[in-house]
């Protein structure tokens, strides 16, 4: 507020309010250990694709400190194990509530889930809308950015990767 030269009754509590929001909402993932989120796996005999769709979260651009909105979709093929689906959504949220670039976030999620679920493969699509594209330079309100990431057989098998891509993009 000092840098902006603003000091009036309306903004008296703003620094405290903003600090609280940043700590509790926007970057709480920085202080969470993702390893604590998916602790227990359950056994499954399924070897077929499972898709968890429309995980709505937000993240923050580390370059401009502007939030961006995300819709995450996660596909995986189990290899003996699965986890609670809400745990998977919680995992995405803990990864997202940080200062992180979109494509790095996609990597973090796919790497973490691949390791923790011991899955045959994991594929992630992040659909996003960026504050940076709206509030600086030419406002581009309608622009969305998609980032994919693949691990396991999805990374190695081009056909499987194409199928996962199509599956994740299906509305
Ligand atoms: Zn930015």
Bridge partners, residue 77, by sequence: 121
pLDDT digits (tens, 9 = 90+) for 53-86: 999 999 999 999 999 999 999 999 999 999 999 9
pLDDT confidence bin for 171, thresholds 50/70/90: low
Quote the ligand 1 centre to 66 CA distance (angstroms): 6
Quote the ligand 1 centre to 151 CA distance (angstroms): 27
CATH number of 32-169, picked from 3.40.190.10, 3.40.640.10, 3.30.1130.10, 3.20.20.450: 3.30.1130.10
Quote the ligand 1 centre to 138 CA distance (angstroms): 13
Quote the ligand 1 centre to 23 CA distance (angstroms): 19
Tell me the percentage of the chain whose pLDDT exceeds 70: 99
Quote the ligand 1 centre to 88 CA distance (angstroms): 27
pLDDT digits (tens, 9 = 90+) for 93-102: 999 999 999 9
pTM of the model: 0.94
β-strands 67-77, 50-60: how paired? antiparallel
- For residue 33, give Cα distances in angstroms to 21, 39, 108: 20, 11, 13
Average of per-residue pLDDT across 139-161: 96
Quote the ligand 1 centre to 155 CA distance (angstroms): 28
Domain boundaries, the chain: 32-169
DSSP state of 21: H
Quote the ligand 1 centre to 136 CA distance (angstroms): 9
pLDDT digits (tens, 9 = 90+) for 19-54: 999 999 999 999 999 889 999 999 999 999 999 999
């Amino acid at each position: 507020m000092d840098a902006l030269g603003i000091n009036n009754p309306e903004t008296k509590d703003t620094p405290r309010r903003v600090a609280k929001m940043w700590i509790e909402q926007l970057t709480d993932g920085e202080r969470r250990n993702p390893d604590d989120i998916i602790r227990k796996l359950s056994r499954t005999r399924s070897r077929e694709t499972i898709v968890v769709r429309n995980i709505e979260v937000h993240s923050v651009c580390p370059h401009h400190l502007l939030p961006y909105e995300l819709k995450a979709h996660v596909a995986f093929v189990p290899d003996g194990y699965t986890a609670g689906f809400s745990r998977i959504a919680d995992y995405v949220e803990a990864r997202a509530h940080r200062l992180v670039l979109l494509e790095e976030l996609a990597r973090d999620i796919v790497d973490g889930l691949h390791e923790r679920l011991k899955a045959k493969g994991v594929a992630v699509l992040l659909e996003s809308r960026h504050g940076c594209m709206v509030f600086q330079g030419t406002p581009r309100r309608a622009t969305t950015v998609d980032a994919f990431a693949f691990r396991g057989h999805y990374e190695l098998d081009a056909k499987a990767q194409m199928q996962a891509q199509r599956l994740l993009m299906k509305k």
